[in-house]
Copies of this chain bind each other. A is one copy, B any other.
Amino acid sequence: MVSPKQDPPSAEGLNSVEAEFVAFFVQMATALSLPRSVGEIFGYLFCADEPKPFDEVVSRLGISKGSASQGLKFLLSMGAISTVYVPRDRRTFYEAETKMRKLFSRALQESVRPHLEANGRLIDAIEEHIDRSQDHESLEEHYRARAASLKGWNDKALQLLPLLDKLISVPVPSFPFKFFGGDSSGENGKPKTPPAKPGKP
């Protein structure tokens, strides 16, 4: 399905393994309706063994500086990547967050929760409209019931968020019958040594 071996050694274009990782995250991005370029960038950084500088993202992926800049900014804002400072190199290096738990957790907090909270406010608005308007006669009760159902589910979702957060850090094959136990795949306090001058051979 994909062509033979022979990986271009570096510098321009991706080797076949990188290309597959990138394809994976492009598909992921598509599923989440994010731009392709975001998937490409994350995929490239995810499979890299060292932090990579801006210009390498641009040249290896063959995308424009503009796209790279915007995509990196977005990924930073999501907490999906972070910058790495490399002494004696003016460029900023980027590395992917590879702890999926963190990614997921953060998405829950930064994307899902705000949406649910906004929903809550919209539901309040609905209820106010039901109060304010007459000539619904028999419908008024029905409207109230529907609004209440919406509110119930929204609240439920909000309450489930922290539980979900706990759930994903439980080692799966043993189903979680006690929740607040330790996290198996926990943090390692590695002091984040910058790599020994990577990139630009």
Contacts and interface: CB of A to CB of B under 8 A. Distances in A.
B7 A133 contact: yes
A114 to B, nearest CB: 10
A24 B135 contact: no
Contact of A27 (B5, B119, B159): B119
Given A167-B160, A175-B163, A24 B123 contact: yes
A196 interface: no
Interface string A119-143: 1001101100110111110010011
Contact of A160 (B20, B46, B49, B172): B172
Contact of A17 (B28, B118, B133, B160): B133
Interface in A85-144: 98, 100, 115, 118-119, 122-123, 125-126, 129-130, 132-136, 139, 142-143
Contacts of A7: 133-136
Contact of A122 (B9, B23, B134): B23
Contact of A125 (B5, B20, B123, B175): B20
A1 B49 CA distance: 53
Interface of A: 1-2, 5, 7, 9, 15-17, 19-21, 23-24, 27-28, 31, 33, 46-47, 49, 98, 100, 115, 118-119, 122-123, 125-126, 129-130, 132-136, 139, 142-143, 146-147, 149-150, 153, 155-156, 159-160, 163, 167-168, 172-173, 175-177, 179
Which 6 residue pairs spanning A and B have beta carbons closest together?
A33-B33, A20-B126, A100-B153, A49-B142, A156-B172, A20-B129
28 contacts: A2-B125, A5-B132, A5-B134, A15-B136, A17-B126, A17-B133, A17-B136, A17-B139, A19-B129, A20-B125, A20-B126, A21-B146, A24-B122, A24-B123, A24-B150, A27-B122, A33-B33, A46-B146, A49-B139, A155-B172, A156-B168, A156-B172, A160-B167, A160-B168, A163-B175, A163-B176, A175-B179, A177-B177
